[in-house]
Amino acid sequence: MTTIQKKPQRPSFKTGESIVYPAHGVGQIVAIEEQVVAGMKLELFVIDFEKDKMRLKVPVAKAESVGMRKLSETDFVERALKVVQGRARVKKTMWSRRAQEYDAKINSGDLIQIAEVVRDLYRAESQPEQSYSERQLYEAALGRMARELAAVQEVSETEAVRLIEVNLNKGPRRGVKPGDEANDEGDAADAEVQAA
């Protein structure tokens, strides 16, 4: 009895298709080409990342193992938007440890994890300023999420950012303890009464 070796099945990515590469976000496959590397013939996806003005070549055989994936489905994007509406979960660990965790989530390529970073690092206008490194991580996560949302919903990146911000503002007020829901005008009036 002879065994027939099947050629490994190529991932079902096509030229012209938008994909997500974990470390770089949304890109577009512009070609599938063959190249000889170290005497071996390799089939490569050629991916352009417009935002970063970068081109990446990924071996077809390694595409899935490096985490390359198709764009999220619409219902998964809706779940990510629900995540940003939730209460921020900020651990009481050192900033350097949290920053590493946030960076790992951003580069995971998982839209839900990226949405968690956006939610946790979001600051409303009425809240204290973010540190420079917090702001950098927030903007990186927001950009990644917005680019995938824009590609899935076929809108501009600016519109996607606006949609994310609308959903962030639907969430609970950040920095306010439950039960302390007094509005800013009420707080100002209280301060005037105490001063009198």
* pLDDT tens string 10-51: 558 899 999 999 999 999 999 999 988 888 899 999 999 988
CB 168 within 8 A of CB 122: yes
Spatial distance between the Cα atoms of 47 and 44, rounded to a whole number of angstroms: 9
Spatial distance between the Cα atoms of 172 and 156, rounded to a whole number of angstroms: 27
- Smallest CA-to-CA distance from 169 within 73, 66, 68, 81 is with 81
The answer to whether residue 188 sits within a structural domain is: no
DSSP 68: -
The answer to whether residue 124 sits within a structural domain is: yes
Residues 89 and 39 in one domain: no
- Smallest CA-to-CA distance from 47 within 37, 62, 36, 72 is with 62
**Each residue's pLDDT expressed in tens, for the chain with a length of 196 residues:** 544 544 445 558 899 999 999 999 999 999 999 988 888 899 999 999 988 789 999 999 989 899 999 999 999 999 999 999 999 888 888 999 999 999 999 999 999 999 999 999 998 777 778 889 999 999 999 999 999 999 999 999 999 999 999 999 988 765 444 444 433 333 333 333 333 3
The answer to whether residue 159 sits within a structural domain is: yes
The answer to whether residue 179 sits within a structural domain is: no
* DSSP bridge pairs for 32: 45
Domain residues for 28? 18-70
The answer to whether residue 176 sits within a structural domain is: no
